[in-house]
Amino acid sequence: MRADVVADHHGFLHETAFYSSDDELLAIVIPFLRGGIKAGEPTLVALGAGNTELVRAAMGDISNISFVDAYRERPANTVKNNLEILATHLARDAQRIRIIGDVPHPGTGRPWEWWARYEAAANHIYAHFPLWAICPYDTRITPDNVLTDVMRTHPHVATADGRHVPNARFEDPAEFLTNRPAARADPLEATPPMIDLVNPTPAGARLAVRDASRGCRLDGIEVEKFVLAVNETVINALCHGRPPVRVRLWPGLDRLVTTITDRGNGPTDPFIGLAPAKNGSSGGVGLWLTHHMCSLVTLGRDDDGFTIRLVIGTPSLAA
The verdict on 304 and 248 lying in the same domain is yes
The residue from 178, 212, 245 where one domain ends is 178
| 318 belongs to a structural domain | no
> Which of these, 224, 244, 241, 223, lies nearest to 299 by C-alpha position?
241
Side-chain-side CA neighbours of residue 94 (13 Å):
22
4 pLDDT band, cuts 50/70/90, is very low
> pTM for the full model?
0.94
CA 57 to chain centre: 29
| 249 belongs to a structural domain | yes
Q: What is the pLDDT of residue 82?
A: 95
Q: What is the pLDDT of residues 165-213, one digit of tens each?
A: 999 999 999 999 999 988 999 999 999 999 999 999 999 999 999 999 9
| 55 belongs to a structural domain | yes
Instruction: Print the domain residue range for 62.
Output: 3-178
| 130 belongs to a structural domain | yes
Q: What is the pLDDT of residues 20-56, one digit of tens each?
A: 999 999 999 999 999 999 999 999 999 999 999 999 9
CATH no. for residue 61?
A: 3.40.50
The residue from 121, 147, 178 where one domain ends is 178
Q: What is the pLDDT of residues 279-302, one digit of tens each?
A: 655 568 889 999 999 999 999 998
CA dihedral 259, 264, 270, 275 (to 10 degrees): -60
In this prediction, residues 57-74 reach a mean pLDDT of 87
The residue from 123, 153, 178 where one domain ends is 178
Tally of structural domains, the chain: 2
pLDDT at 5 over 50: no
User: Under 8 Å CB-to-CB from 76, ≥6 apart: which residues?
Assistant: 273, 274, 288, 291, 292
- 101 — phi, psi (to 5°)? -155, 150
pLDDT at 110 over 70: yes
- More confidently predicted of 302 and 93: 93
> Which of these, 197, 193, 181, 198, lies nearest to 145 by C-alpha position?
181
CATH no. for residue 256?
A: 3.30.565.10
For 167-203, what is the HEC assignment? CCCCCCHHHHHHCCCCCCCCHHHHCCCCEEEECCCHH
The verdict on 158 and 19 lying in the same domain is yes
Spatial separation of the C-alpha atoms in residues 86 and 202, rounded to whole Å: 37
Q: What is the pLDDT of residue 1?
A: 43
